[in-house]
Structure formats: structure tokens, C-alpha cells
Amino acid sequence: MSAIRLDEPLELPCGLVLQNRLCRAAMTEAIAGRRNDPNESHMRLYGENARGGAGLILTGNAMVDRRHLERARNVVIDAATDVLAMRRWAQSAADTPTLVQLSHPGRQANRFVQPHPVAPSDGPAVPLAGFFARPRALTLAEIEEVRESFIEAGERVLTAGFAGVEVHGAHGYLLDSFLDPAHNRRTDAYGGSLENRARLLLEIVGGLRSALPPQAAIAVKLDSREGGDAELAQLSLLLEQAGADLLEISGGNYESPAMLGFNAAGAQIESEHESPFWNSAAAVSAVTAVPVMLTGGFRTRAEVDRALAGGVCEMVGVARPLAVRPALAGQFIRGEIDVLERPAPRLGGSALMKRQLGAAAGSGWHRIQLVRTAAGKPPLMGLPALAAALDYTMLDAAQALFARRSRMKLARQARRLRTLSVPLGLGDVQHARNGNGSHREEEAR
Ligand SMILES: Cc1cc2nc3c(=O)[nH]c(=O)nc-3n(C[C@H](O)[C@H](O)[C@H](O)COP(=O)(O)O)c2cc1C
């Protein structure tokens, strides 16, 4: 196999051509207004991301059900979403193919957002600072509703003019907990064997493949699990059959935030490679024809080159360095810099404090840098880790509580509107697509 270079284009199975092998990975921006629509802040942030030079952009997780949010100010995509705001958001990133990441938080929705979170099975609450309630098992009818909400959200994303979607099947959120036998103890068609635990994810990806135009890109983010590489490889083959275009490999969840480089005790993960998920990506790449993207920990050109040249992945995802400076992507790809700096301070204090708040500090510090980019301001390098952790937890909880009643009312309206089933006009997609990414067919014309 000839070595893949970072600045080489990649054509996805759907025909979408990415100009290079670096993706700006998903980061929850949580900057929507009280109705959870995209706004001017999203447009500035994604305009900067597009100018940054990455070949692909993934948005922060957008929610498919407004009763269940990852945080208070997520974008929600349902029948009550402002269609014009979605279109303007898609246009803001028009220079670079952009996929909207679709998610349902499941048991990781905090109690201020949702005091009755849902999961594949009844189970323990996420044990973090009392922020989470015990989840209850979804009924079969509710599982069907979850599936439809992902597919309908995907249709809305394409109608708005984005190049495609990423289905979030990682990080302990709902679809990941269906895949994870530790959380899925169902005895029906959605529990037990891998085929059953993957059923909901496969129905969503297959449903999106049928509902969206063939040129729409469908990515899936998956978790590496200790000892789980063989199953992950099997799952990748099922997703290939279902029509996935890109498989992103990550890992971790709220209890054990491996995606941020920490274990459950809050200590740094020791790993032979910059990315702790290296071996899992290699295992998936070995069996599937779907391009694999490895995200998490990449900071040096040498390691990125090793991953691409060694067939570990066909694309790399980078998140935190680009939260601080989106333009680093282009500089790194052009070889002007060899290291992607990540200057965030670590949380001090006791082991308990680090375990409870370490991940919130890490994510919160970077989220505030996204907020600053969205406001047209430079990064705030001196921001203390504790202040970021409190912003990420307490401020979010207050915003969630404050808006809960009106959000639940809007959720009821959205569900009523949905039954009216307004046609989404996917005929516009080809036209919109010209603005968001290039396609083989279009180039041939
Ligand atoms: C502020 C912040 C928000 C994040 N939000 C998301 C998200 O919405 N969806 C997702 O899949 N991953 C999310 N992540 C994880 C990143 O996509 C990525 O997997 C992780 O940061 C590791 O990559 P890195 O080492 O390049 O930062 C987030 C990370 C950070 C720091």
C-alpha cells in the first residue's frame, strides 16, 4: 500500500471529496438560544472553522429530541427547529464539507435537563457530583421513536444544505449504551448478541441511507472498549452493509473520559501512541472498506504521518487544539507547524475533585474558547480550570432548569407538528450541496 499523505484528498463511498485527511472533530458548542436553534454565534464559529483549513468539519452534537439534551444550549433538530437558521448555519461553513453530529444523550442527560433519563435498561445513575438521575429502560415504541427522530433530523440537516450527518454512537450516549453489554441488559430484539445490541444503530444508519440522497455522507462515531476490538471490527462490517461512509474511532464516557486522555480515576492514560484508540482503529481498518478516522490525542505531524502511512486510519480527527485556534488545521496540513499545541491548564486539588470535575474542566476550558471564537474574540489562555469546570456544570444546570418548562412545551409542539408530516423538500439538496463540499458527479459535469 502506498503511504497516504495528510494533504491528499479522500473520496468517501458516497462520492463526497474531502480536500485533505484532517477533520475538525465534534465539540459541543452549547451556544444556541433558549429555543435551541442555531444562531449568529454558530455562523461565526463555523465560518472560522471552514477558513481553518480542515478537509472535513463535524459540528458539536445536535440533539434529536428536545426532552433529552447533552447540555442546555445544544442545537435541537426537530419539527420546531428554525429552518432558515439551519440553512444559514450550513452556508456559514460552505467552503468545507460539514457533517452535523446527531445524538441522544440517554443516561448522560443531567437531572436539570431531564430528571427521568432513558437508557436501554434500568440502571445506575452516572456517579458524578449528584448531577444525574437513574435512567429507566426505553419501551419498544420509544425505541422506534428514537430511530425516527434520528432519521428525520438527518433529513432536516440535508434539506438545510449540509454535506451529511454523523451519528454519535460513542462516549456513553444512548446509542453507545445500546452497544455496551454493561448497560444493555435487554432480552428483546435490542439486547443480547452484537446484532441485537447494534440493531438500533443499524436501523438508524440504514434508515438514513434510504431517506437521504445517495451523495449525502453518513459518518458514525464509535467507541474503542477494553478487549472489544474484535467486536468493533464485526460492527464496522455491519455498518458498511448499512451504508456508512466514514467510521470515526474514539472512546470513553462521562465515568471514564478516555476521549480526553483520562481514566476513571482522573489520571492520564498511558499509551504507546498519542491516541489511546490506535489499536482499535487498526483493527477496524483491517477489515472494512469504509474509510476509518481516528480521533483523540493527535498532536504531532510524525504520529499523524505514522497513522496514515501505516494504514491505521485514512483520516485523523483533531478537536481541542482547533477549539483554541481553528487556523492551526491549515498550518499543520501545509507543514508550517509540526505540533498542535494544547495549552489548557489541568485541574488541581484532591483526587476526588479531579475524578468528579477533571473532565468538566478540560471540556469546559475548550468550550469557552469556542464561545470566544463565536464572538469574534481571541482565546482566553489564562482562564482557570476551576472556573471552566463550574461554567460547564453549574451554569449549564441553571440554564437547563430555567428553560425546562418552555422547552418541554416546545417538545410537545414539535411532536404534534411531526405528525402533520410536512414534506422536507430533499429535491433542494443537490442545489444546496454545491455550497457545501464537492462531489465527484458534480465535478464530472
Ligand atoms: C469542549 C469539547 C466538546 C466536545 N464535544 C463533543 C461532541 O459534541 N461530540 C463528540 O463526539 N465528541 C465531543 N468531544 C470529543 C472530541 O470530539 C474528541 O473526541 C476529543 O476531544 C479527543 O480529541 P482531541 O484529543 O483532538 O481533543 C468534545 C471535546 C471537547 C474538548
pLDDT band at 358 (very low <50, low <70, confident <90, very high): confident
- Residue 148 dihedral angles phi and psi, to the nearest 5°: -65, -35
* Spatial CB neighbours of 101, under 8 Å, sequence gap ≥ 6: 26, 58, 59, 60, 61, 62, 165, 166, 167, 168, 221
pLDDT of residue 64: 98
Whether 221 is in the pocket of ligand 1, judged by its Cβ within 6 Å, is yes
Closest CA to 401 of 68, 112, 30: 112
Q: Is the pLDDT of residue 303 over 60?
A: yes
DSSP designation for 346: P
Cell matching residue 398 = 441553571
pLDDT of residue 433: 39
Taking the C-alpha atoms of residue 390 and residue 364, their distance in angstroms, rounded to an integer, is: 8
Ligand 1 centre to CA of 100 (Å) is 14
Report helix, strand and coil shares of the chain as percent, to nearest 5. Answer: 45, 15, 45
Ligand 1 centre to CA of 25 (Å) is 7
Q: What's the average model confidence in pLDDT over 12-27?
A: 98
Whether 54 is in the pocket of ligand 1, judged by its Cβ within 6 Å, is no
Q: Atom 22 in ligand 1: which residue has the minimum CA distance?
A: 296
pLDDT of residue 425: 52
Four-residue CA torsion sign, 162, 166, 167, 168 = negative
Whether 275 and 299 have beta carbons less than 8 Å apart is answered as no
Ligand 1 centre to CA of 141 (Å) is 31
Give residue limits of the domains in the chain: 10-444
pLDDT of 93-119, one tens digit each?
988 999 999 999 999 999 999 999 999
Q: Which atom number of ligand 1 is nearest to the Cα of residue 170?
A: 11
Closest CA to 251 of 231, 221, 273: 221
Ligand 1 centre to CA of 13 (Å) is 25
Taking the C-alpha atoms of residue 247 and residue 92, their distance in angstroms, rounded to an integer, is: 25
| Of 375 and 129, more confident | 375
pLDDT of 231-245, one tens digit each?
999 999 999 999 999
Whether 437 is in the pocket of ligand 1, judged by its Cβ within 6 Å, is no
- One-letter amino acid for residue 113 of the chain: V
pLDDT of 389-441, one tens digit each?
999 999 999 999 999 999 999 999 999 998 876 555 564 443 333 345 444 33
Ligand 1 centre to CA of 320 (Å) is 7
Quick one: residue 42, left, alpha or beta (phi over 0 = left, psi -120 to 50 = alpha)? Answer: alpha
Q: What's the average model confidence in pLDDT over 42-54?
A: 98
Cell matching residue 339 = 505540533
Ligand 1 centre to CA of 67 (Å) is 23
Taking the C-alpha atoms of residue 166 and residue 164, their distance in angstroms, rounded to an integer, is: 7
Q: What pairs with residue 224 in β-bridges?
A: 251
Ligand 1 centre to CA of 244 (Å) is 21
Whether 393 is in the pocket of ligand 1, judged by its Cβ within 6 Å, is no
For the chain, what percent of residues have pLDDT higher than 70? 94
Q: What's the average model confidence in pLDDT over 247-258?
A: 96
> CATH classification of 10-444 is 3.30.800.10, yes or no?
no
Whether 27 is in the pocket of ligand 1, judged by its Cβ within 6 Å, is yes
pLDDT of residue 31: 98
Averaged pLDDT score across all residues of the chain: 93
- Residue 170 dihedral angles phi and psi, to the nearest 5°: -130, -175
Ligand 1 centre to CA of 259 (Å) is 7
Q: What's the average model confidence in pLDDT over 143-152?
A: 98
Whether 366 is in the pocket of ligand 1, judged by its Cβ within 6 Å, is yes
Q: Which atom number of ligand 1 is nearest to the Cα of residue 318?
A: 26
pTM confidence score: 0.95
Q: Atom 10 in ligand 1: which residue has the minimum CA distance?
A: 26
Closest CA to 396 of 94, 117, 132, 207: 132
At which residue does the C-alpha cell 489511546 appear?
276
Which of the residue ranges 145-159, 192-206, 422-436 would you say has the lowest mean pLDDT?
A: 422-436
* Spatial CB neighbours of 236, under 8 Å, sequence gap ≥ 6: 222, 247, 284, 287, 288, 290, 292
Q: Is the pLDDT of residue 369 over 90?
A: yes
337-372 burial by CB neighbour count: b if 16+ within 10 A, else e? eeebebebeebeeeeeebbbbbbbbbbbbbbbbbbb
For strands 16-18 and 10-11, give the pairing: antiparallel
pLDDT of 275-299, one tens digit each?
999 999 999 999 999 999 999 999 9
pLDDT of residue 210: 98
SS3 of 349, please?
Answer: coil
* Spatial CB neighbours of 427, under 8 Å, sequence gap ≥ 6: none
pLDDT of residue 196: 98
pLDDT of residue 422: 55
Whether 363 is in the pocket of ligand 1, judged by its Cβ within 6 Å, is yes
